Structure 1
Amino acid sequence: MAEWDLRKLRILRTLRERGTVTATAEALHMTPSAVSQQLTNLASQLGVPLLEAHGRRVRLTDAARLVLRHTEPVFEQLERAEAELTAYTQGEAGEVRVAAFSTAVPALVVPAVLALRARHPAVTVRVREAEAAEAYELLAAGEADLALSLAARAPGTADGRFTRVPLLADPLDVALPPGHPLASAPALRLTDLAAEPWIFGGSGPWSDITRRACESAGFSPHQGHSASGWTAILAMVAAGMGVALVPRTAAARRDGVVLRELGPERPVRHVVAAVRRGAEAGAAVDKVLRALRDAATGLGSAA
């Protein structure tokens, strides 16, 4: 029977996710030579080649993909066992490391932390602001226990490493300068603003969300200015330089800007939480997820 070494299997799994031996070594705090040696030993133990040359790099063989497909349930069960063991040994106590994108921190994470202080003071939350790609890298590497991101930027439901938990359908309002002809209109639709210059980032999630919302309404937005921070975006709106979509949770209200709702067909962005599959059984993680759901419900647009 083949010898299954979980430590080496984790290295192989990380190589699949990171793509190169160097990136794998950085993620696991190892040297590239140590990574290569461990994978060579694993191939010898299993009796199959795991890597093949691909130009100046290496890639996983079909045998390696087969091995990982069968070990994913093992990793999930180990996460579950660790979570249950932690719950057994710590009871109500525990630390949960949360990686979350910027607007989710004040809107969801901080209210959840405040609620946990009152209900479960022995549960500690450690927060790290991170955009989606970094948040899921931290989660996969075991450096975060829970990640918050926009659904469009989260790994798909077919990714067996994570369990996704829908949290919030965050409405998008439109920001207008006070003197805009539509600032006081009785009703406002996105198509009413089709001819306006729009302000959004040149790339990234907010660019995608703005373009997708406008295109769903039937037009392609003309990008008058490019900015990614809410302070810059709203300053330009206040100056009459264009209009912008603003997520309700951004809480970016300021003098000189009128925020208008867009009616029942308004666009939304979906916020999800994710944990390593099996880890949701942990008592502390479960309490944090419940607190996040309660915070989302308090915003009135829970998923």
Structure 2
Amino acid sequence: MVEWDIRKLQILRTLRERGTVTATAEALRMTPSAVSQQLTNLSKQLGVPLLEAQGRRVRLTDAARLVLRHAEAVFEQLERADAELAAYVQGEAGEVRVGAFSTAVPALVVPAVRALREAHPALTVRVREAEAQEAYELLGAGEVDLALSLAAQAPSAADPRFSSVPLLADPLDLALPRDHPLAAARRVRLADLAAEPWIFGGSGPWSDITRAACEAAGFRPHQGHSAAGWTAILAMVEAGMGVALVPRMAAVRREGVVMRELAIDRPRRHVLAAVRRGAEAGAAGRALGALREVAAGLG
């Protein structure tokens, strides 16, 4: 099978358009002798004469015109490839894999995916739910292209692998049973709940966040029950089994639960997004931009 040389075919095509070897050389920034040599080599590769003398000029043979007729389909496909590649580089097309912790998926990721579908329909987003710490591990391993996590779980800002962007300071609200004495109080402080049983996970980021918030308010929380999922935590609050801090992004309305904004303590969890350094301009950068817009609307 013949080895087709795209560059030489482009020279032949330009000769057809420009008419002379000299004009072809000028258009391609080559010397006339280089043009002639390349076309001679192409003729040898294909095994057919491509040029014939016509006075002081040359003209394309019927074989050359046949070759170019088929080459046009190749050039057309290459133009499409160039356009798609440019779109990919600019983040207009391709695929971006997002790893995000559970509450960030409905609050941040899903609205961002919807916006990207409208603005960049050729860009595919694949979402993978992951714990806050795991999201960075997946990013470092190349299994996701963008990670949403919590500042407490983020690698050092000096880590050369990642570029991170603060997205949101998510307020933590107090979840109380509807019949709790403080459910209708004018102001509520964390310190007012120092003697209550608290509901939070036995370990992990949410345990750390709850303990840190309570200790900043002057007391160590007594863990009455342990749960990691917000459905379970809010169900126990509703049953009067204790109180809990709940991120505003995670709050789901329950008839027997009152969510109260804290008056002065106002703890927050800080949500970050990260990409591998250097990926900011591609599809991951587009997704990051969409996430920032969604986060700005929640702030």
Q: TM exceeds 0.5? A: yes
2 CA distance for matches of 1:163 and 1:87? 23
Superposition deviation, residue 134 in structure 1: 2.2
For 2:251, the aligned partner's letter is A
Partner secondary structure for residue 272 of structure 2? strand
1 CA distance for matches of 2:275 and 2:193? 39
For 2:102, the aligned partner's letter is S
1 CA distance for matches of 2:192 and 2:213? 13
2 CA distance for matches of 1:174 and 1:86? 49
Contact 2:87 2:93 in 1 (8 A): no
Deviations 1:169-218 (A, max 9, x none): 00000000011000000111111111111000110111000000001111
1 CA distance for matches of 2:217 and 2:147? 31
Q: Which position in structure 2 is the counterpart of 1:181? A: 181
Superposition deviation, residue 157 in structure 1: 0.5
Q: Which position in structure 2 is the counterpart of 1:170? A: 170
Q: Which position in structure 2 is the counterpart of 1:269? A: 269
For 1:225, the aligned partner's letter is H
Superposition deviation, residue 138 in structure 1: 1.6
2 CA distance for matches of 1:128 and 1:227? 22
Superposition deviation, residue 263 in structure 1: 2.5
Q: Which position in structure 1 is the counterpart of 2:287? A: 288
2 CA distance for matches of 1:224 and 1:139? 35
1 CA distance for matches of 2:128 and 2:85? 22
Q: Which position in structure 2 is the counterpart of 1:298? A: 297
User: Are positions 1:194 and 2:182 aligned together?
Assistant: no
User: Are positions 1:205 and 2:194 aligned together?
Assistant: no
For 1:286, the aligned partner's letter is G
Question: Which consecutive unaligned segments of at least 5 residues does structure 1 have?
Answer: 1-84
2 CA distance for matches of 1:115 and 1:136? 24
Deviations 1:16-56 (A, max 9, x none): xxxxxxxxxxxxxxxxxxxxxxxxxxxxxxxxxxxxxxxxx
2 CA distance for matches of 1:119 and 1:281? 16
Q: Which position in structure 2 is the counterpart of 1:141? A: 141
Superposition deviation, residue 281 in structure 1: 2.1
Q: Which position in structure 1 is the counterpart of 2:108? A: 108
Q: Which position in structure 2 is the counterpart of 1:235? A: 235
Q: Give percent identity, aligned residues only.
A: 77
For 2:112, the aligned partner's letter is A
Q: Looking at CA atoms only, which structure, 1 or 2, has the larger radius of gyration?
A: 2
Superposition deviation, residue 116 in structure 1: 1.0
Contact 2:88 2:94 in 1 (8 A): no
Runs of 4+ in 1 over 2 A off after TM superposition: 85-91
Partner secondary structure for residue 293 of structure 2? helix
Q: Which position in structure 2 is the counterpart of 1:82? A: none
For 1:119, the aligned partner's letter is A
Partner secondary structure for residue 170 of structure 2? strand
Superposition deviation, residue 89 in structure 1: 5.3
Query: Bigger shift: 117-126 or 233-242?
Result: 117-126
2 CA distance for matches of 1:208 and 1:133? 13
For 1:221, the aligned partner's letter is P
Partner secondary structure for residue 211 of structure 1? helix
For 1:93, the aligned partner's letter is A
Computed over aligned residues only, the root mean square deviation of the Cα atoms, in angstroms, reads 1.5
Partner secondary structure for residue 168 of structure 2? strand
1 CA distance for matches of 2:117 and 2:111? 10
2 CA distance for matches of 1:89 and 1:262? 46
2 CA distance for matches of 1:89 and 1:266? 42
Superposition deviation, residue 139 in structure 1: 1.0
Q: What does 1:1-303 correspond to in 2, within 5 Å? A: 87=86, 91=90, 92-282=92-282, 284-300=283-299
The alpha-carbon distance between structure 1 residues 207 and 89, as it changes in their structure 2 partners (threshold 3 A), is closer
Partner secondary structure for residue 157 of structure 1? coil
